[in-house]
Structure 1
Amino acid sequence: MVNRDAVSLDDPVGESLRGHHTHLARRLGRAAGYLPEVATFSTVSTDPDAAEWADLARLLGRGELADLFSCPATPPADWKPVFTLDGLQMIGPAGSHPGHVDAEPDAGVVELGVDDVPEMLELAARTQPGPFWSRTHELGTYLGVRDNGTLVAMAGERLRPPGWTEISAVCTAPEARGRGHAARLVSALAARIAARSERPFLHVAEANTGAIALYERLGFEARKHVTFRGFRIP
């Protein structure tokens, strides 16, 4: 799928930190990153020089993780690789409703807030949907599903490049899987995103074929392959 407005998705971290998430950013020179309690992601320009890498090192600190997300720039040779993960960037359909879901998108869905953070952190620790910290919920709206009062599924908004909102932290407790919670949550978020005239997108590990199949069923299409990389600053 080609979209003329999707160019901001080539640098979703940088575009978010320069725009909607400016209040959650820390900066030094042209290097930038999220506040550590919010997200680990950091960014540099498209063609960073040695001074810019030095700025990022000072910004994050010696021995800290430089989580470059999908940034293709090559860091200094003495930055030790920590992880590399192949993934897909997928974009959702235009309009308020993704593909078929078995129930109304908002059925059984509740909005989560600061009082829910301990449960959100516990669920994220159990299910490993990706980085999730004590202030990650400040990135956008987070929705959940409760079973007898216990949070068993959630999803939320993360990166916000112009015109787009990323759906992230999609996870369901093992004992609650197979009930359509993920589809309802993604659909409910997509409807909210469309209501403010934006479009949903997301990232998923290429190896997670089950999640990819779900997103395709909901109308998401692969835009491009991405590689997520992290490095330890010496």
Structure 2
Amino acid sequence: MDQQAHSLDNPIWTALTTHHAHLSAGGPLARRYCPDVAPFAAMASDASPDAWLALAQLLSAGDQVALLSCSPLKPPARLRAQPVGRIHQMVATKRDTRLAVHADIVTLGAADAAEMLELASMTKPGPFCKRTHEMGRYIGIRSEGRLIAMAGERMHPGGHVEISAVCVDPAWRGKGLAGRLVQGLEAQIWKRGESPFLHVLSSNAGAIALYERLGFRLRQQFHMTRVEPAD
């Protein structure tokens, strides 16, 4: 397997120690995103006692982070683990750098952060925080000035870019907006010489079917686990 493929085996860690180091806290054994950026954390090793200790030191009382792992996690007594579900990691297979011209697709930024958070809170595409938009490029579609759909770039591990926060206002679903946004991001990522990928809950059959129609295929399955300090 090449180096780029290896970067997807521990994507959170790879992103936190490279492109997103400035959005993170921690050291050589464990790192996490700043809480207002994303609720993700990772360990460098395969859950060694020292790595667990380093992770615990990054968590305050009432704090929670989510980790991806190939097998179920068993933290030490000072931490409590709650399984969230299985995650499909899917990679794009149809390389296409052609940029579709859609006049209604706009670039989103800091000025749109409140609207982005509102749309994500309503549609629940996955974790989305006040500063999540700082992780990469986000695009959206508006109707009469109101944000009705968006998608963006989240983790950035070694030659790959994660497409995330794909969501559409319920009143506007069924019109192909999500597919157009995903394909627009894909084209930009391919054009930069990188490869698109994404994560989706294995139970979300509708989203998986959409991504398969867009040319994504399953690469690996992970366990997602929420970890917090024990009482």
* TM-score relative to the length of structure 2: 0.92
| Deviations 1:120-148 (CA, angstroms, capped at 9, x unpaired) | 01000100001100100000000001011
CA contact (8 A) 1:105 1:187 kept: no
Residue equivalent to 1:178: 174
How far has the Cα of 1:97 moved from its partner?
5.0
Aligned residue type for 1:200 = P
Residue equivalent to 1:142: 138
Aligned residue type for 2:112 = D
Q: Which runs of 5+ in 2 are unaligned?
A: none
Residue equivalent to 2:55: 56
CA contact (8 A) 1:105 1:184 kept: no
| Deviations 1:155-189 (CA, angstroms, capped at 9, x unpaired) | 00001011100000000010010111100100000
Q: How far, CA to CA, are the matches of 2:26 and 2:78 in structure 1?
A: 22
Structural mapping, 1:1-234, within 5 Å = 5-70=4-69, 72=71, 73-93=73-93, 95-97=95-97, 104=100, 106-234=102-230
| Deviations 1:35-77 (CA, angstroms, capped at 9, x unpaired) | 1111111111233332321221111223321311346453114
State the 4+ residue runs in structure 1 displaced beyond 6 angstroms: none
Q: How far, CA to CA, are the matches of 1:30 and 1:90 in structure 2?
A: 27
Aligned residue type for 2:76 = P
Q: How far, CA to CA, are the matches of 2:203 and 2:48 in structure 1?
A: 33
Aligned residue type for 2:61 = R
CA contact (8 A) 1:69 1:229 kept: yes
How far has the Cα of 1:12 moved from its partner?
0.4
Q: How far, CA to CA, are the matches of 1:49 and 1:66 in structure 2?
A: 17
Secondary structure of 1:59's counterpart equals: coil
Structure 1, 59-68 or 5-14: larger mean CA deviation: 59-68
Q: How far, CA to CA, are the matches of 2:207 and 2:46 in structure 1?
A: 33
How far has the Cα of 1:29 moved from its partner?
4.6
CA contact (8 A) 1:94 1:194 kept: no
Aligned residue type for 2:92 = G
- For residues 187 and 119 of structure 1, do their structure 2 counterparts lie closer, same or farther at Cα, with a shift above 3 Å needed? same
